[in-house]
Amino acid sequence: MLRLIMNDILGTPAILVGLFALIGLLLQKKAIAEVVSGTLKTIMGFIILGAGATVLVGALNLFGQMFEEAFHIKGIIPNNEAIVALAQETFGTETAMIMVFGMIVNILLARYTKFKYIFLTGHHTMFMACMLAAVLAASGIKGPLLVAIGSVILGALMVLMPALLQPYTRQITGSDDMAVGHFGSIGYFVSGTIGKYFGDKEKTTEEIKVPKSLGFLRDSSVALALTMALMFIIVAAFTGPTFIEKELSGGTNFIVFSLTQAITFAGGVYIVLAGVRMVIAEIVPAFKGIADKVVPNAKPALDCPVVFPFAPNAVIIGFLSSFVAGVVSMFILPIFGLAIIVPGLVPHFFTGAAAGVFGNATGGRRGAILGSLANGLIISFLPALLLPVLGSLGFNGTTFGDADFGIVGILLGNLLKLF
């Protein structure tokens, strides 16, 4: 009986998250029909997540092979959804446990310390839980100790990162009612700080005319398919038709093959996104419901696009500057003997845009441009430096994209080496 509970119920991550969703739904006193459908959908979400991983892993491997054949160096695609989906086979249980206990630590810290933040960006909570599980496991920690350490770190980050940004967030929103809860915080903090010292906030980005035509990149599946298509085709041109058609595509034309693989990758990520959405759909409202009851004056810490409407021009300028820094970094990384991080439109769009808004709030145009350039460098170098501490997970050709995953993973991984 104990074996059934420990191995088969708690050891099957899909069932485990379903159980958490069930508890959350019961705590919110939902009707029986909602409890049943919510629990089933959560379990299904986890299974969809795994299915997405199966779709994208093939394209990821092919990209890696083509890249190495062409440039004799590793090319890595930073994509949170991809690496989290791939990690679930090994670290599914740990991820789910750290996610839920991390939320409890968040509520306790918000209740008993002056950091009243409730971190509502559920997918980032899940991704960070997964990153922590991988780094801790790579350092030889396992079982309850892994879950305990991971949950405490996660819960602490969920209040500390919004708190770190809050002085700047206040300048953007003009109020203290809400916070930014997104694990790209270090990039935004650096951007805000650069703006403060090197910019002039009177000369805001919102006075200049910026073309709106880049708005279609907000559609992340389009943006991802586009980046991957460009990258695959450029790399394919360097790899050459002979190798691809003989070794990889089974005779299909190398450009057509690369294009379909690129879009297969984007399709896989789309599936993973749908899965993640279902996994967090019941857990986050339960978390919020409990937090609202337990923590007086709780401040919601929200996903980064919450700041976009405050400076729409800074969003575009920030994205472009960050992306330029990402492209430049691609050529600098190998000089330091690091893997090449292929710049993605999605991470540069979301975190570059937010960095632009932070830089603009403290330092106007110059702040937005310089701050987002810095963000672009950060999200190129940190993911490369993170790879060695991820253990076997680091060999899949993908890595975590946003700044905080990098900084936390690198610090934690190297700290654990001292013991």
Partner 1 sequence: MKILVVCGNGLGSSFMMSMNVQKAMKELNMEGTCSHTDLASAKTENADYYIGAPEIMDQLNDGNRKIISLVNMFSMDEIKKALTTHVLEGR
- Which residues here bind partner 1, judged by CB under 8 A? 120-124, 178, 182, 212, 215-216, 218-222, 270, 273-274, 276-277, 280-281, 284-285, 288, 300, 302-306, 308-309, 312, 349-350
Cβ closest to partner 1, residue 273 vs residue 410:
273
Who contacts 306 (Cβ-Cβ below 8 Å, separation ≥6)? 178, 180
State how far the Cα of 75 lies from the Cα of 25, in Å rounded to an integer. Answer: 43
Cβ closest to partner 1, residue 91 vs residue 349:
349
Catalogue the E-assigned strands of 172-250: 179-180
Cβ closest to partner 1, residue 299 vs residue 366:
299
State how far the Cα of 161 lies from the Cα of 165, in Å rounded to an integer. Answer: 6
Q: Answer for the pair 127, 80: CB distance below 8 angstroms, yes or no.
A: yes
Q: How far is the CB of 115 from partner 1 (least distance, A)?
A: 19
Q: How far is the CB of 345 from partner 1 (least distance, A)?
A: 11
Q: How far is the CB of 402 from partner 1 (least distance, A)?
A: 12
Q: How far is the CB of 208 from partner 1 (least distance, A)?
A: 17
Cβ closest to partner 1, residue 74 vs residue 218:
218
Q: How far is the CB of 52 from partner 1 (least distance, A)?
A: 14
State how far the Cα of 214 lies from the Cα of 212, in Å rounded to an integer. Answer: 5
Cβ closest to partner 1, residue 279 vs residue 325:
279
Task: Give the ranges where 312-402 is alpha helix by DSSP (H).
Answer: 312-332, 345-347, 353-386
Cβ closest to partner 1, residue 316 vs residue 342:
316
Cβ closest to partner 1, residue 276 vs residue 407:
276
Residue 26, CB-side half-sphere exposure with 13 Å CA sphere: 7
Who contacts 309 (Cβ-Cβ below 8 Å, separation ≥6)? none
Who contacts 388 (Cβ-Cβ below 8 Å, separation ≥6)? 394, 413
Helix (H, G, I), strand (E, B) or coil at 341: strand
Cβ closest to partner 1, residue 193 vs residue 372:
372
Who contacts 194 (Cβ-Cβ below 8 Å, separation ≥6)? 359, 363, 367, 370, 371, 374
Q: How far is the CB of 302 from partner 1 (least distance, A)?
A: 6
State how far the Cα of 261 lies from the Cα of 254, in Å rounded to an integer. Answer: 10
Cβ closest to partner 1, residue 116 vs residue 124:
124
State how far the Cα of 67 lies from the Cα of 212, in Å rounded to an integer. Answer: 34
Q: Answer for the pair 224, 269: CB distance below 8 angstroms, yes or no.
A: yes
Q: Answer for the pair 133, 102: CB distance below 8 angstroms, yes or no.
A: no
